[in-house]
Structure 1
Amino acid sequence: MTKLPLAALALAVAATAGLSAPAHATGAIKCDAGPQSGWKSREALESKLTKDGWQVRKSKVDGGCYEVYGTTPEGDRVEAYFHPVTFEKLYVARRGQVLFRAKGY
């Protein structure tokens, strides 16, 4: 067996296992927020949410928005999306149940 087919086989196995697949947004919400250089920081959003009574477990960029996993002041464990420039709350869901969706999103 030559090295080329072995390398191709290794790449195919890695792709099948998801090791080389690029990350994709979940598609729940999309933000047209312009270049990231104009965004406020995720740390600033996390700080704001914490002051508002949220417990933030994780945040990341998804679909051009900030996606936050955490617990609301009411005690709901949620996935929420916020606009990265305005921090407007756009979408909040708990285990697939939509709790909030901003108009137009």
Structure 2
Amino acid sequence: MPQPSLSGHRKHLNENESAMKILLGTAAIALGLAATTLPALADDDRHCGRVDRAQWLSLPDVAARVAAMGYDARKIEADDGCWEVKARASDGARVELHLHPVTAEIVKRDVDDDDDRYDD
């Protein structure tokens, strides 16, 4: 009596193994990308936390506090859980401030030398 051929079965296993390797490789790449991009997206949340919008300082209050700190605010907007302020420092330097939405504490300050989006 002839023995059943296993060559078709082995071929099916090899195709499944190849598909599994591709799937695992794709999953590894996706996890790697998520691990590198998610911290960047959550950067301001780390500084400002997640605060209910109803608790945020009003725009006029933020403008007054920025002026009291010695900055001339050119643009103020909510961005990623913080107040983001583009301003001029007392020495004329262009700065970008990230302020805590409730306390207006500066959580991040960048000097912006080559951006004239908020010049007069």
TM-score of the pair, normalised by structure 1: 0.59
Q: Give the letter aligned to residue 51 of structure 1.
A: A
Q: 1:29 aligns with which of 24, 30, 44?
A: 44
TM-score of the pair, normalised by structure 2: 0.52
Q: 1:76 aligns with which of 75, 87, 93?
A: 93
Rg larger in structure: 2
Unpaired segments ≥5 residues, structure 1:
1-25, 97-105
Q: Could you say which structure has the higher helix fraction?
A: 2
Quote the residue 1:5 is aligned against.
none
Percentage identity across aligned positions?
A: 28
How many pairs does the alignment contain? 71
Unpaired segments ≥5 residues, structure 2:
1-39, 114-120
Paired with 1:61 and 1:49, the residues of 2 have a C-alpha distance of 14
Paired with 2:92 and 2:98, the residues of 1 have a C-alpha distance of 17
Give the superposed CA RMSD.
2.0
